[in-house]
Amino acid sequence: MGLLACGDDSTPEQWPEEVWREDVALMREVDVNLVSAGNFSWAWLESREGSFDFGWLDRVIESVQANGIRIALGTLTVVPPAWFSRGRPEVLPVNREGVCWEFGWRGAIWHSSPACREAAVRITTALGERYGSAPAVAKWLRNNEYGVQVPECCCETFAAHFRRWLAEGYTTRKAVNGPWTLVFWGEAYGDWKEIQPPRATPTVCASSQRLDFARFAGDSTLANGRRERELLRELSSGTPVTTNFMVSPTQCDSIGHWCRGREVDAVTHEHYAVAEDDRNHIGLPKAADLARSAGGGRLRLLLEHAVSGVNWQPRNFAKTPGEMARNGLAAHVAPDSGGAMFFQWRAPRFGAEEFRSAMLPHAGTDSRIWQEVVELGAHVRALAPVLDARTAADSQDLDAHECAEGYHAGLFDRHLTVNFSPPDADADAGAGAGAQVPLIRQGTELPTAERADGPFAVPAGAVREVRLDD
């Protein structure tokens, strides 16, 4: 595949076609060989139900292919069109306070609803049938940042599915009372129908009930991703299927990283340094270590990081000269990433991310950022001979979620490479010769559980098919 340097989302739908031609020429100048596109363009491909217009995407793919560039094609399912939300209002999510989130911002959709699943199958099938054998498609990107926007919903439909999920794992409806410690404040349930999602309460909700609800939501989301994956595998000829992970012990804890690692053909992930943190460089190897661990040591790919400053942190600083190359090359490509990709290629003219950095900034090619992007492309090309290199951890750690950050920082300061381990792993697993400390055991792998009345009806770390049709 070759090492990769590229803007993650080229967003061609935001620009007239003459700009596409300019983009491709500039991409060749900086040795881009992979772009991702399509994540947020469902409304452009299906303007009304069942009416598809693939013409513009055909031309985008033909253009990059003619210039030796391949594409990581998104399945579009992260943002269904407005016509879908208006016609099927039951897909709009309800928060813990009972407020329905309306269409009009990214993520205002309950992806596990039966109607949304049906629509996702339709658009994924259409994409697979059209581009499943296209040589320019290097990989499929399912959805976007699974579980980040709206991982769960507190509507009555989701509540009914939650009760069905509980019934599969607990022997009786009274069996939840013990593990959830509901005797404490007299909150015990006597009937399945009494069990609700952890909606807003005047005091704290039972923490075990809240955890089970998060496990259920995680299972639901993973089942959605599996459905897209199986469709694409059926319609493609060996094209890898993945999604972009948010790899940090404090990010995206609605879904366990190891469950997701087992569900993809390769781990592709993001990393954004915390600009105001005096030691934000520690987050770079931590993200790399977690991504490598979640993928079982397979070749990973840094799919998203920032060229310079972002727009969504409390304090957004521009990167200093050379920092972009250090972040991408030293922290990710040097250990075992198949490349260093960015979000995004061209700085947008409008919208929430108008003022975040891009490979091609508003200042154009007469800018320091562009010159550093050109240099990065040359560095990445020169590193092609070490593409198949892998990193072997020389330390192994054991700890819960809240302490993982501190332990990792201490190990980093001692120049030790770290592996992370899921909470259900054997404590001795992976301990190699010369291992000096235990393995950090990540404590947020939600789909794994043991109950007071016996093992939950699912193997450790497995993801069940959560049926939402009934």
So which residues are the catalytic ones?
145, 304
CA distance 463 to 264: 13
CA distance 368 to 318: 11
Query: φ and ψ at 187, to 5 degrees?
Result: -100, 15
Strands 395-396 and 337-342: unpaired
Q: Collapse the DSSP code of 84 into the 3-class scheme (helix H, G, I; strand E, B; otherwise coil) and give the result.
A: helix
Torsion 229-391-336-323 (CA) sign: positive
Q: Quick check: 111 and 225 in contact, CB under 8 A?
A: no
Torsion 99-100-103-106 (CA) sign: positive
The single residue listed with the structure tokens 């658009």 is 123
Strands 70-74 and 300-304: unpaired
Tokens in use for 419? 């592996």
The single residue listed with the structure tokens 């800018």 is 367
Q: Quick check: 459 and 273 in contact, CB under 8 A?
A: no
One-letter amino acid for residue 67 of the chain: N
Torsion 148-259-294-8 (CA) sign: negative
